[in-house]
Structure 1
């Protein structure tokens, strides 16, 4: 074996070990040996380098009362962090998330008007500079990940079209890199939410997943097929919210299944997801609210059935206000989807609310950042 090929094998083994502890949590050296098929001395050497490079930490195992020398436990370093960002129409949410998936610090910065891509880049830089003097003083920042509600070109992170933010062909990645000095990975918010739910949330362990997220900017989606995210040739796959509703109609799904429509019928100007869920529950006997929810649930059920017929997933995950619509009557909603789909495609289908709650988009952005810069 040449030196170059040996270096390549070692790099792959280092990445493999790091990914195991990142995705699966703390593992003993013995467990890593069993999972990789490598020998104990090789695992010890790889772990030693990962510790030296700051990617993992090693600790003594918890006492279990067994005789013999216990195997040290290896964990992803909580001090190696990325900055995860989700800009929306009414706020920018920013968090520092560790390789161990720990949220070190988090802020929601509300805005009364739309922010430009340049504004968001400057805002991120200001927050990062402030955090570096405070909660991240002893952390190592390795990248920035951004979940954008719009079309993002996979090749270079160019935001082609984020209509609700008013961004067109915005080089957001370049702007943030220039303002922070960090590598940057930008992706579609729903696609990154799908990634997070697939790896860590409701769809963990499922290899074929459809994810739909409903937020202030409309409805987006993500697709996982055979365990791999599907982005399409440009990275724009999963835009379920732009599908037409009804033959000959100019309306798209996110026009009719709409958070804004729910707020309007509830008489609310603004509301976060928990507040919206509480308001829907409290108004369950109100005829206009009940009728609007039933109308939106019917359209959503048909849209999901269309996706089920095309992709035949084992799990459909719903996030944001879509999950709240489903949770009004989960069994009835599942029956409605099954009634619109081919019977064979709906066999064994599970429709689940996103389990990562408000963390899903930030965790997805963090994962995108770690992956894109070659950490895992």
Structure 2
């Protein structure tokens, strides 16, 4: 005989399993794109009626939609295709030394809108909050078309404490113990989650870009604020005890180098820098596309100063990639920002420099590629922070 307490526990367990299965199905559609019900049935191992019920509940929750499949020659009634509802969105914010960027990203991982506001100077935390909040206010007419806004994800070029989004140190922004997430939440009324920009970029490339399908990868991004990195090990982002792991930009690559702002000598980001490339090109600033064109033109013209600087930076970058490969044994190294520009100039040269130095066993399955998501990468990565609570526990729309 089943007692009332046992019935209660059984009901609770079944509800827990149902919610876990809802999260599984939603996560598959969110990360993998549109999927036929039959594909979800096969991938989850659940029976067809269970998957149908789960999809129906996700439709009622406003998280997915269903559409008729494209015509095929297969016998029988075709299975409906389940799609993440693009009207469910997250906001993304990226404070940088020269601009604040805000984006709207759909649950399908597509950037709906991206707006960049140049600051003219390095913004303080309070200034960045005010600018981002004003930019979000300007986007509210577009947000009105969304069925729900899950919150704001922030990609910060610095060390961010995962537990509360406090920016412990963002040296190029000159922020120390800045409660940016809490202040932006108070200014906008949205829940805010913050993380290191390169780690979020690594996750975005793993889910939607060059790292799709990879379980072990290292992502390095080069920008105006230096070089950041994110590491994925066994399909899980490497965070460290407080969320500060992966600071490969401060790896020693030149013991005779100059002193870095962190206090050490010869860090990767002091030897390999966007600023040095722009200086030798005679440019004040350039986005990635402009830098690609300028570097290619200079190389084609045979500019010796530019060629020498490229070779110098490739040499130090190869040292860093050697160390990363020996330590993490990744299957893939993904290079973003100006590092991607360097790679595009001479992919074979960089691969050869790394191969000459790396432990042969550690590097035998290594591929070095350029990031694919371009300017969308940090918007997508930051949005994943805001989507995470909903993906973990699909829920009805709350009042906002």
Q: TM-score, normalised by structure 1?
A: 0.96
Task: Give 1:308 deviation, angstroms.
Answer: 0.8
Residues 217-256 of structure 1 aligned to structure 2 (within 5 Å): 217-247=225-255, 249=257, 250-256=265-271
Question: CA 1:206–1:259 in 2, change beyond 3 Å: closer, same or farther?
Answer: same
CA contact 2:111–2:379 (8 Å) conserved in 1: no
| Higher deviation after alignment, 118-127 or 251-260 | 118-127
Q: Secondary structure at the match of 2:120?
A: coil
Question: CA 1:159–1:273 in 2, change beyond 3 Å: closer, same or farther?
Answer: same
1:324 is matched with 341
1:273 matched to 2:288: yes
Inter-partner Cα distance in structure 2 for 1:76 and 1:265: 46
Q: Secondary structure at the match of 2:142?
A: coil
Inter-partner Cα distance in structure 2 for 1:308 and 1:90: 32
1:184 is matched with 192
1:212 is matched with 220
Q: TM-score, normalised by structure 2?
A: 0.90
CA contact 2:27–2:391 (8 Å) conserved in 1: no
Inter-partner Cα distance in structure 2 for 1:192 and 1:318: 14
Q: Secondary structure at the match of 1:134?
A: helix
Inter-partner Cα distance in structure 1 for 2:102 and 2:135: 8
Inter-partner Cα distance in structure 2 for 1:38 and 1:46: 10
1:350 is matched with 367
2:384 is matched with 367
| Over 4 Å off, 4+ runs | 372-376
Unaligned residue ranges in structure 2 (runs of 5+): 1-8, 258-264, 394-400
Pick the aligned partner of 1:156 from 157, 160, 164.
164
| Higher deviation after alignment, 78-87 or 128-137 | 128-137
Residues 74-89 of structure 1 aligned to structure 2 (within 5 Å): 74-89=82-97
1:303 matched to 2:320: yes
Inter-partner Cα distance in structure 2 for 1:212 and 1:368: 19
CA contact 1:104–1:135 (8 Å) conserved in 2: no
1:146 matched to 2:154: yes
Task: Give 1:100 deviation, angstroms.
Answer: 1.0
1:13 matched to 2:30: no
Inter-partner Cα distance in structure 2 for 1:115 and 1:62: 50
Question: CA 1:349–1:150 in 2, change beyond 3 Å: closer, same or farther?
Answer: same
1:3 matched to 2:11: yes
Inter-partner Cα distance in structure 2 for 1:373 and 1:76: 13
Task: Give 1:137 deviation, angstroms.
Answer: 3.0
Inter-partner Cα distance in structure 1 for 2:352 and 2:46: 48
1:128 matched to 2:136: yes
Residues 64-75 of structure 1 aligned to structure 2 (within 5 Å): 64-75=72-83
| Higher deviation after alignment, 31-40 or 10-19 | 31-40
Task: Give 1:94 deviation, angstroms.
Answer: 1.0
CA contact 1:131–1:137 (8 Å) conserved in 2: no
Task: Give 1:31 deviation, angstroms.
Answer: 1.5
1:283 is matched with 298
CA contact 1:95–1:106 (8 Å) conserved in 2: yes
Question: CA 1:19–1:283 in 2, change beyond 3 Å: closer, same or farther?
Answer: same
When the two structures are aligned, how many residues end up with a matched partner?
A: 376
Question: CA 1:67–1:308 in 2, change beyond 3 Å: closer, same or farther?
Answer: closer
